[in-house]
Structure 1
Amino acid sequence: QGLADTAKKNFGGGNTAWEEKTLSKYESSEIRLVEIIENLCDSSNFECNNMVEEHEEQIEKWWFKLKKKYPDLFKWFCIETIEVCCPAGTYGPDCLACRGGSERPCHGNGHCDGDGTRGGDGSCSCNKEYTGDFCLDCSDGYFSTLRNETHSVCTACHAACKTCTGSSNKECRDCKEGWIKNEESACVDLDECASSPCKDHQYCLNTDGSFSCK
Structure 2
Amino acid sequence: MRLPRRAALGLLPLLLLLPPAPEAAKKPTPCHRCRGLVDKFNQGMVDTAKKNFGGGNTAWEEKTLSKYESSEIRLLEILEGLCDSSDFECNQMLEAQEEHLEAWWLQLKSEYPDLFEWFCVKTLKVCCSPGTYGPDCLACQGGSQRPCSGNGHCSGDGSRQGDGSCRCHVGYQGPLCTDCMDGYFSSLRNETHSICTACDESCKTCSGLTNRDCGECEVGWVLDEGACVDVDECSLAEKACVRKNENCYNTPGSYVCVCPDGFEETEDACVPPAEA
How high is the TM-score relative to the length of structure 1? 0.47
Bigger Cα Rg: 1
- Structure possessing the higher relative contact order (Cα contacts under 8 Å, 6 or more residues apart): 2
How high is the TM-score relative to the length of structure 2? 0.37
